[in-house]
Amino acid sequence: MATYDFVFSSLGLDDWCSAGKSDGPMSMADLLSKANGGKQEDTSIWDLPFPSMDALNEACPAFPQSRELTKGLEQGFLDIKDSLSVVLDPITQPLSWALDGTLYAMLSAPWWIVIPLLLAVVLVVSKSWKLVTFVAISFFTLAFIDYYEYAMQTLAIIFVCAFICVLLGVPIGIAMSRSDTLQRMTIPILDMLQTLPPFVYLIPLIFLFSVTESKLYGIAIILYAIVPVIRLTNLGIRLVDKDVIEAADAFGMTPRQKLFKVQIPLALPNIMAGVNQTIMMSLAMVVIASLVSAPGLGVLVLRGIRNLELGVGLVSGLGIVALAVILDRVTKASLARINAAQKQ
């Protein structure tokens, strides 16, 4: 007899319960009670179990156990997986191409082209020779200790993923800023994406895509990193001075003119802050994504953990820090230039 027998008997479900009775494997607790001669111990109120699925199952074998819930979820996912792949595979295929193409381009081009090119980009974006010097020293150091290839792989992945995040995130943010309903619907999803432990993304993705495809880690990084750019685009556009918007209306701007001539330019500092965050979060995720075959410095970190190679782990960790500092400073420098151009 179990604690919650009365629930089922009072509902008249005894038949249904006994119909589900089976001589399946016993739990350890059952075995123990059997060994004790099947004597019911008097349970005091202190030992009252919570009416959980398992406790109810004890009273009525037809009632599902909790492990059947997780199992059912898994089964359900496996059932829809194939049809889901049919839809998702072609849509996400360009991501694989972009990642593979960029990785190939950055690695096959000789270092004496890639490094000056990157430095030129830094100079154009930040207009700061100090920063260019810092970036040059970082790259040459990484290359000198033979981490050049790994660092470039990591950078290539971040470039592609951050670019796609901006490409998708900014329009989503704009749409959110225009509709309160959409904002209400999207914010819980964004909250979930941001708080879900990053490892959790990887599990369903492994089921959906093959580990050999680069879009697997691409999607994981994008899902994780797209949130800030969406949030800050939405926020930035909503924060645009109401008076300026009113002036735009009073002079007869169409919604499109208002968006491109007023809202986006005035929201640009916030959007750029979002881009900065997105890049930093892609960097964080690219390390974790090395678990699912993302190349780059993350692989070395993983090697450090798996083989307890302290030196490799530390040096690659420091390499990631160097990349993080570079990406952060360069985007912040361009942000500062935008801010200076339009302070009120």
Partner 1 sequence: MANDIKISIKNLYKIFGPTPDVGLEYVKRGMDKNDLLEKQNHVLGLKDINVDMREGEITVIMGLSGSGKSTLIRHLNRLIEPTAGEIRFDGEDVLDYGEEDLRKLRRERMSMVFQKFALLPHRTVLENAGMAMDVRGFKTADFESEARKWLARVGLEGNENQYPHQLSGGMQQRVGIARALVSNAPVMLMDEAFSALDPLIRSDMQDLLLELQEELQKTIVFITHDLDEALKLADHLVILKDGEVVQQGDPQDILLNPNDPYIVDFISDINRARVLRTRSVMTEGVDDSLQFAGDVSDQDNLETVLSRSGGDTSLTFRVMRENEPVGTLDMKALTRALVPTEASSEREKRSA
Choose which of 29, 113, 250, 308 interacts with partner 1 (CB under 8 A). Answer: 250
Q: How many CB atoms lie within 10 A of CB 47?
A: 9
Q: With respect to partner 1, which residue has the nearer C-beta, 258 or 332? A: 258
Q: Per-residue x/- mask for partner 1, residues 265 to 284, rule CB under 8 A?
A: xx------------------
Question: By CB under 8 A, what part of segment 306-325 binds partner 1?
Answer: none
Question: By CB under 8 A, what part of segment 216-245 binds partner 1?
Answer: 241, 243-244
Q: Which of 232, 242, 243 is nearest to 267 (CA)?
A: 232
342 near partner 1 (CB under 8 A): yes
Q: Which of 324, 322, 292, 110 is nearest to 218 (CA)?
A: 292
Choose which of 246, 260, 305, 321 interacts with partner 1 (CB under 8 A). Answer: 246
Structure tokens at 69: 């819930």
Conformational region of residue 240, where left means phi above 0, alpha means psi within -120 to 50, and beta covers everything else: beta
211 near partner 1 (CB under 8 A): no
Q: With respect to partner 1, which residue has the nearer C-beta, 30 or 241? A: 241
Q: With respect to partner 1, which residue has the nearer C-beta, 115 or 262? A: 262
The residue written with tokens 């989503």 in the block is 172
Choose which of 73, 78, 247, 305 interacts with partner 1 (CB under 8 A). Answer: 247
Choose which of 37, 38, 252, 311 interacts with partner 1 (CB under 8 A). Answer: 252
343 near partner 1 (CB under 8 A): yes
Name the burial class of residue 113, with classes exposed (0-12), middle (13-18) and buried (19+) by CB atoms within 10 angstroms of its CB: exposed
Alpha-carbon Rg for the chain, nearest whole angstrom, is: 28
Choose which of 46, 112, 144, 251 interacts with partner 1 (CB under 8 A). Answer: 251
Smallest separation (angstroms) from partner 1 to the CB of 264: 10
- The answer to whether 264 and 212 are in contact (CB under 8 A) is no
Beta strands in 303-343 (DSSP E): none
Q: With respect to partner 1, which residue has the nearer C-beta, 307 or 342? A: 342
Smallest separation (angstroms) from partner 1 to the CB of 259: 13
29 near partner 1 (CB under 8 A): no
CA atoms within 13 A on the CB side of 324: 16
Task: Find all residues with CB under 8 Å of 211, minimum gap 6, and list them.
Answer: 292, 293
Q: Which of 228, 169, 203, 230 is nearest to 289 (CA)?
A: 203
Q: With respect to partner 1, which residue has the nearer C-beta, 14 or 241? A: 241
Smallest separation (angstroms) from partner 1 to the CB of 131: 24
Task: Find all residues with CB under 8 Å of 63, minimum gap 6, and list them.
Answer: 17, 20, 53, 56, 57
249 near partner 1 (CB under 8 A): yes
- The answer to whether 178 and 171 are in contact (CB under 8 A) is no
Question: By CB under 8 A, what part of segment 43-102 binds partner 1?
Answer: none
214 alpha-carbon distance from chain centroid:
16
121 near partner 1 (CB under 8 A): no
Smallest separation (angstroms) from partner 1 to the CB of 339: 11
257 near partner 1 (CB under 8 A): yes
At residue 198, the 3 state secondary structure works out as: helix
Q: Which residues bind partner 1 (CB under 8 A)?
A: 241, 243-244, 246-247, 249-254, 257, 261-262, 265-266, 341-344
